[in-house]
């Protein structure tokens, strides 16, 4: 006689193979509890109803037959009909009592769970569909989760609601759009003790970068209170990025962090039942929700979870993970882990780059960009998903936040803009899945944007997303990632913006030939280094106030070192283990003066281009303490983050003695040449660097030709002057001769030499000239990497052909001589 299928299973009895029995979510919960606790990952006990329990419910009072009749012929694109059918289906489910056997099995498992955990048994009731967390469909948020459920009556009521949530409008639409038979999908329910994150914090994390698909990062989002606030997009969370390869070696590679506004948090209800939302006090909003220790602990667990599921799958399997911190015990817990379904299944052999080309006014609204696309259309400010019929195909959806009820509308949108949310909120996840540009966490888009205006939503401006008035012209460049052979000459990239680094790393490259500190200092710090050194003893009270606002309670020097090291670290992580050459700061005095507090420390110069800049600034008492901070940031990247692929480069070094002085000063500040394989290069951008190249190369480990400055100084012109701009040309014979001399000197010294100026990107013939001269590397602007790599390959092939022809000609000449003799 066949043994009856169980109605309930403890999570200790469930594995990842039991999706058909307990659904994707509960199978994952069981796998976490069973397999990963032994590896140090702290997860939560519990039990799950099975698909057999749902089957019995459908057999009760002819419920299944009535649902089939209701769904027969339904057009899920007809939003009114969908709304009516969904409402009726849920009513049928709730009006049908749970079978006695299912009711008793749930209560028996609940009592055993309370005995086992020996604690007050408030639980989370979590839906788990048998078609959930599949490689090509996440079903994220399609069914309900109910938190802080206490007592047996509330538990049964909540389980009944969960079963009914399989028939929400969004779930019906989602299944139909992806070709799933409604009656081939069953719903199980997971029941677990609550982690008291209402007294601490919670969040989600991914084992890849959710924007670029970069696989070597763990991205962690966190906010105060229960995690539903993040997932639903009600709170804009904190964010950290941790680099996996050096984390595994014991380093502490937090390469990025962003403080979220964390507007609200979800906590237990007033009667200790259910949940409620409260505003977060200002002091809490200005603090990160996790310590660095906790961030690194979560990242380590994420790596363990990814390794486990990758081993089971037989291939790399990025994961989407929920976590929580218990405010009573201080312990971290993993609540859920499921396969990431957007980037993991993407198999594109091309790169699309969106660029604004038209003129535009200042942005109407700004937030966090999700993706890198641009969208246009008519703005539609919509605060209630029930007004779905008013929303037209191709409109821009502007709302406070979204949840799964919004998905039928989101599918019609040209772009999505929300007041709240972070990069892992519902709006962000679904927009990635739909391939839509999305901006989250604007704070005020619903107030700043008016229904009916035409607008452009741009996620192509870096980490910030901007909404511009009108239809701003833009282009889309699609570059095929052809399988082209790597040239002998190294092809590197010029990178300044850390936020773009993960995406750029997917281009074929040999590393970064120029990472500019100026972009990070200007955009991520915004304060003059010496103003931070002297804070709060500054002359201008407004500078003191603004610096205090920006650094909050952080030590001012630590603020600079942390921000700079994380910016450099993100670039270095993106290209690891390839070399990343970081040029120390090369602001001119007029540029430094524009930073907050800068006017107090900068001279007024007639010609800043030739004044107090580069190496001469570093050892001068007016900036030496600022340079100490730069060195401290570099040291942290290499030693604490483990990113030893970072090299240093000194710009505008006028004399050999100056070079020696700077190298000695760097050693004094913790960056000793040769220690832990630290290499220090110099920019070759002055005629003196060429004339005395042999001497300079005895001080430095290599050269990088700065063709912009070398051209202006060789030709005696100001490259910022439009009066002589027509004379500025790196292909001028004098410039090419100087470049050739520098390359020859590097060959004599056995040192590396590259170029990081604009010329190779602009002029293919100049790139050929460099290849012919035997340059080690060419560092290019990212948008020219593919085509210039092809040119370099052609130049190397031509050169090889000429050598072969020369050898053959010589051989034939020798043969002719021998024949005559």
Q: Is residue 204 pLDDT above 90, yes or no?
A: yes
Residue 637 is encoded by which pair of tokens? Answer: 């990247």
For residue 473, the tally of other CB atoms under 10 A from its CB is 13
Give how far the C-alpha of residue 355 lies from the chain's centroid of Cα atoms, to the nearest Å.
19
Highest-confidence segment of 138-147, 369-378, 567-576, 603-612: 567-576
Exposed / middle / buried, residue 700 (Cβ in 10 Å: 0-12, 13-18, 19+):
buried
Comparing 2-6, 291-295, 480-484, 527-531, the range with the smallest average pLDDT is 2-6
Residue 278 is encoded by which pair of tokens? Answer: 């409260």
Contact 778, 792 (CB under 8 A): yes
Q: Is residue 131 pLDDT above 70, yes or no?
A: no
The reported pLDDT for the residue numbered 483 is 67
Of residues 743 and 717, more confidently modeled: 743
Of residues 137 and 669, more confidently modeled: 669
- CB hemisphere CA count around 706 (13 angstroms): 24
The reported pLDDT for the residue numbered 136 is 45
Tokens 């100087």 identify what position? 738
The reported pLDDT for the residue numbered 799 is 86
Q: Is 756 a catalytic residue?
A: yes
Q: Is 315 a catalytic residue?
A: no
The reported pLDDT for the residue numbered 137 is 44
Q: Is residue 604 pLDDT above 80, yes or no?
A: yes
**Considering 162, 563, 684, 756, which one is annotated as catalytic?**
756
Q: Average pLDDT of 651-668?
A: 98
CA atoms of 711 and 380, how far apart (whole Å) = 52
Q: Average pLDDT of 142-164?
A: 89
- pTM over the 0.85 mark: no
- CB hemisphere CA count around 363 (13 angstroms): 17
Grade residue 139 by pLDDT with cuts at 50, 70 and 90. very low
CA atoms of 741 and 217, how far apart (whole Å) = 42
CA atoms of 761 and 707, how far apart (whole Å) = 11
Tens-digit pLDDT profile for residues 267-309:
998 776 788 999 999 999 999 999 999 999 999 999 999 999 9
Nearest Cα residue to 475 out of 456, 494, 493: 456
Tens-digit pLDDT profile for residues 108-129:
999 999 988 776 688 999 988 8
Q: Is residue 356 pLDDT above 70, yes or no?
A: yes
**Considering 76, 160, 308, 426, which one is annotated as catalytic?**
426
Q: What are phi and psi of 628, to 5 degrees?
A: -60, -40
Comparing 334-338, 362-366, 381-385, 691-695, the range with the smallest average pLDDT is 381-385
Residue length of the chain? 821
Grade residue 211 by pLDDT with cuts at 50, 70 and 90. confident
Residues 6+ apart with CB under 8 A from 747: 753, 774
Nearest Cα residue to 462 out of 499, 415, 431, 495: 499
Grade residue 133 by pLDDT with cuts at 50, 70 and 90. very low
CA atoms of 436 and 418, how far apart (whole Å) = 13
The reported pLDDT for the residue numbered 1 is 37
Q: Is residue 141 pLDDT above 70, yes or no?
A: no
The reported pLDDT for the residue numbered 200 is 96
For residue 316, the tally of other CB atoms under 10 A from its CB is 13
Give how far the C-alpha of residue 381 lies from the chain's centroid of Cα atoms, to the nearest Å.
28
Highest-confidence segment of 129-143, 183-197, 553-567: 553-567
Q: Average pLDDT of 228-237?
A: 84
CA atoms of 629 and 757, how far apart (whole Å) = 27
Q: Average pLDDT of 419-442?
A: 83
Nearest Cα residue to 647 out of 685, 723, 700: 700
Comparing 582-586, 681-685, 754-758, 775-779, the range with the smallest average pLDDT is 754-758
Q: Give the alpha-carbon dihedral of 305, 309, 310, 311, to 10 degrees.
A: 110
Q: Average pLDDT of 502-509?
A: 91
Chain mean pLDDT for the chain: 89
For residue 168, the tally of other CB atoms under 10 A from its CB is 21
- Distance between first and last Cα of the chain: 104
Q: Is residue 3 pLDDT above 60, yes or no?
A: no
Exposed / middle / buried, residue 573 (Cβ in 10 Å: 0-12, 13-18, 19+):
buried
Q: At what angle do helices 556-575 and 541-551 cross, to 10 degrees?
A: 50
Q: At what angle do helices 79-95 and 63-71 cross, to 10 degrees?
A: 180
Tens-digit pLDDT profile for residues 721-745:
767 777 888 899 999 999 999 999 9
Q: Average pLDDT of 502-518?
A: 93
CA atoms of 443 and 85, how far apart (whole Å) = 35
């Amino acid at each position: 006689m066949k043994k009856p299928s169980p109605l309930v299973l403890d999570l200790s009895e469930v594995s990842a193979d039991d999706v058909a029995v307990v659904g994707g979510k509960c199978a994952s919960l069981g796998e976490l509890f069973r397999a990963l606790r032994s590896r140090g990952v702290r997860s939560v006990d519990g039990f799950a109803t099975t698909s057999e329990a749902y089957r019995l419910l459908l057999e009760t009072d002819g419920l299944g037959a009535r649902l089939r009749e209701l769904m027969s012929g339904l057009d899920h694109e007809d939003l009114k009909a969908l709304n009516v059918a969904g409402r009726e289906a849920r009513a049928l489910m709730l009006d049908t009592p749970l079978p006695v056997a299912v009711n008793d099995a749930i209560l028996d498992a609940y009592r055993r769970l309370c005995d086992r955990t020996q604690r007050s048994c408030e639980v989370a009731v979590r839906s788990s569909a048998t078609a959930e967390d599949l490689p090509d469909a996440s079903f994220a948020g399609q069914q309900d989760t109910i938190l802080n459920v206490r007592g047996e009556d509330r538990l049964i009521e909540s389980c009944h609601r969960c079963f009914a949530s399989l028939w929400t409008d969004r779930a019906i639409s989602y299944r139909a759009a992806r070709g799933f038979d409604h009656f081939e999908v069953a719903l199980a329910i997971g029941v677990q003790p609550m982690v008291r994150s209402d007294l601490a914090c919670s969040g989600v994390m991914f084992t890849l970068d959710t924007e670029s698909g970069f696989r070597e990062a763990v991205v962690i989002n966190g906010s105060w209170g229960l995690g539903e606030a993040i997932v639903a997009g009600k709170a804009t969370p904190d964010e950290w990025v941790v680099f996996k390869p050096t984390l595994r070696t014991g380093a502490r590679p937090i390469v990025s962090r962003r403080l979220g506004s964390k507007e609200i948090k979800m906590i237990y209800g007033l009667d200790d039942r259910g949940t409620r939302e409260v505003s977060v006090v200002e002091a809490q909003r200005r603090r990160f929700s996790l310590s660095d220790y906790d961030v690194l602990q979560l990242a380590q667990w994420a790596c363990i979870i990814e390794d486990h599921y990758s081993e089971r799958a037989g291939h790399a399997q990025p994961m989407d993970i929920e976590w929580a911190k218990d405010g009573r015990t201080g312990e971290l817990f993993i609540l859920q882990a499921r396969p990431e379904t957007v980037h993991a299944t993407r198999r594109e052999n091309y790169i699309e780059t969106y660029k604004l080309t038209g003129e535009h006014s200042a942005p109407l609204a700004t937030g966090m960009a999700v993706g890198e696309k641009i969208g246009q259309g008519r703005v539609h400010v919509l605060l209630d998903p029930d007004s779905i019929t008013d929303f037209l195909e191709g409109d821009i959806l502007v709302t406070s936040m979204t949840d799964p009820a919004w998905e039928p509308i989101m599918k019609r949108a040209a772009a999505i803009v929300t007041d709240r949310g972070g990069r892992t909120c519902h709006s962000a996840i679904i927009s990635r899945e739909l391939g839509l540009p999305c901006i989250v966490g604007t704070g005020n888009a619903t107030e700043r944007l008016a229904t009916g205006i035409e607008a452009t939503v741009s996620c192509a401006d870096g980490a910030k997303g901007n909404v511009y008035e009108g239809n701003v012209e833009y282009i889309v460049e699609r570059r095929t990632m052809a399988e082209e052979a790597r040239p002998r000459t190294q092809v590197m990239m010029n990178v300044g913006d850390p936020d773009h680094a993960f995406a750029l790393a997917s281009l074929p490259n040999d590393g970064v030939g120029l990472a500019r500190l100026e972009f990070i200092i200007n955009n991520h710090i915004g304060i003059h280094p010496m103003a931070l050194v002297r804070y709060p003893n500054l002359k201008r009270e407004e500078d003191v106030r603004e610096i205090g606002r920006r650094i909050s309670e952080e030590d001012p020097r630590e603020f600079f070192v942390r921000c700079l090291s994380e910016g450099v670290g993100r670039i270095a992580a993106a290209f690891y283990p390839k070399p990343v050459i970081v040029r120390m700061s090369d602001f001119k005095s007029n540029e430094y003066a524009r930073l907050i507090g800068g006017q107090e420390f900068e001279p007024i110069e007639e010609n800043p281009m030739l004044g107090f800049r580069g190496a001469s600034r570093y050892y001068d008492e007016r900036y030496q303490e600022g340079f100490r901070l730069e060195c401290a940031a570099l040291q942290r990247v290499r030693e604490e983050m483990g990113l030893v692929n970072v090299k240093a480069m000194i710009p505008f070094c006028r004399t050999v003695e100056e070079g020696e002085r700077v190298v000695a000063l760097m050693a004094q500040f913790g960056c000793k040449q040769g220690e832990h394989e630290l290499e220090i290069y110099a920019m070759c951008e002055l005629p003196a660097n060429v004339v005395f190249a042999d001497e300079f190369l005895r001080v430095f480990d290599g050269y990088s030709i700065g063709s912009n400055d070398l051209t202006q100084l060789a030709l005696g012109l100001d490259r910022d002057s439009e009066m002589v701009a027509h004379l500025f040309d790196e292909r001028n014979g004098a410039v090419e001769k100087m470049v050739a001399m520098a390359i020859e000197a590097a060959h004599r010294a056995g040192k590396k030499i590259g170029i990081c100026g604009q010329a190779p990107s602009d002029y293919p013939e100049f790139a050929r000239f460099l290849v012919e001269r035997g340059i080690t590397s060419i560092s290019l602007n990212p948008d020219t990497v593919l085509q210039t790599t092809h040119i370099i390959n052609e130049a190397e092939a031509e050169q090889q052909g000429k050598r072969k022809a020369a050898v053959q000609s010589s051989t034939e000449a020798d043969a002719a001589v021998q024949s005559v003799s």
